[in-house]
Amino acid sequence: MEKIILVGHGSPKKDANNMDVVGRMLHEKLHPGCSKECVFTAYLQFQSPTLEDALESAVINGTKKIIIHPYFLSAGMHVTKDIPEVIDGFKKTSPDIEFVYTEPLGVSQRLVELVVERMDEAAGFAPQEIEDKSFEILSKDADLSTFDAGLHPIVKRVIHATADFSFLNTLTFHPDALEAGLRAVRAGKNVVSDVEMVRAGINSRTLNSWGGRAICKVGEVSPKEGKTRSEIAMEEAIDENTGIVVIGNAPTALQRVIELINEGRIKPDLVVGVPVGFVRAVESKAELASQEFPYITNAGRRGGTPVAVAIVNAILKIAGQADKKG
């Protein structure tokens, strides 16, 4: 499989060096559910790893093709001189590897749309106002009549996160799903996720206020023969205080969770299984939808981190609103 390297400039301001976040998002987009190291990130100044470090890591990983993308808006000296010089050095020492150097971000209609979005945000709409307006629009366009009223906030948040109304036809809820999720949250139980991007998206402040934590161990384990990192991470992370298991990317993790539950080895209150992709995603979700324990899933290939996070955060918000009313 090819390796990809994103190269950014780097900044003395530590929190401005967010290439690793972009790298994880790209990896998830290109290789949903993949637990291998396919995307590397690098910086030219102020921050590590350097481009040389990233190229060395990619070479060591035994790839035959490395794609380098300069994460810059225009083709300045870094893009036209500095980065190509480093690549040329590796071409000489690794002649069997194909190096592909892409154009920078450049001029794109999608960037123009992003600028317009940022202008709209700065025109007087606070983040909460934007969210409220979005929910108002989708509520007019979405026919929620096939769902119980209590599930409407979850369905709306999924559509809001994806801008995809097809989830109206594919989301599937066990009859006890919502109550099971609320019970877990209120009991201060933890939420275990299959990938770090899902864990990071969960509203930890709200979850922590009930006493629970968002947990992901995929970065702490190594793959073993016959098992993916996601499967092993599930086995190691789920314990007696696990209330919700949420899977947005790895079908193998979802299938392993189903096995562990049916074997009586774990007993979470709710399983949210919405892995995305072309390999085993459809089958794993269909298997989940046939279970007797509480679950939330969707049919088809769509899913992923935004859907998984939206479902969990909706449950957290419902729990908080119910507590205030109580």
- Total-model pTM: 0.64
Q: Which of 57, 75, 101 is the last residue of a domain?
A: 101
* 88 and 190 assigned to the same domain: no
Specify whether 77 is located in the same domain as 176: no
By three-state DSSP, how is residue 183 classified? helix
pLDDT of residue 123: 64
Question: Which residue from 286, 283, 277, 217 is spatially nearest to 245, judged by alpha carbons?
Answer: 217
Q: How confident is the model at residue 21, as a pLDDT?
A: 84
CATH number of the domain that residue 217 is part of? 3.40.50.10230
Whether 194 and 285 map to the same domain: the answer is: yes
Residue 160: active-site member: yes
My answer on whether 320 and 177 are in the same domain is yes
Whether residue 152 lies inside any domain: the answer is: no
Task: Split the chain (326 residues) into runs of 10 and give each run's mean pLDDT.
Answer: 90 83 85 84 92 91 90 91 94 92 84 75 58 67 86 91 87 96 96 90 92 89 77 87 93 93 94 90 95 95 91 93 59
Q: Which of 66, 141, 73, 65 is nearest to 103 (CA)?
A: 73
What domain range includes position 35?
Answer: 3-101
Q: In the prediction, which pLDDT does 174 show?
A: 97
What's the half-sphere exposure (Cβ side, CA atoms, 13 Å) at 57?
16
Tell which of 80, 101, 122 closes a domain: 101
The two beta strands, 190-193 and 39-43, are unpaired
Cα separation, 235 vs 120, in Å, equals: 45
CATH number assigned to the domain comprising residue 76 = 3.40.50.1400
DSSP label at 15?
G
pLDDT of residue 126: 53
Q: What is the DSSP string of 89-123?
A: HHHHH-TTSEEEE---S-S-HHHHHHHHHHHHHHT
pLDDT at res. 128: 59
pLDDT tens, residue by residue, 275-284: 988 888 999 9
Structure confidence at residue 4 (pLDDT): 94
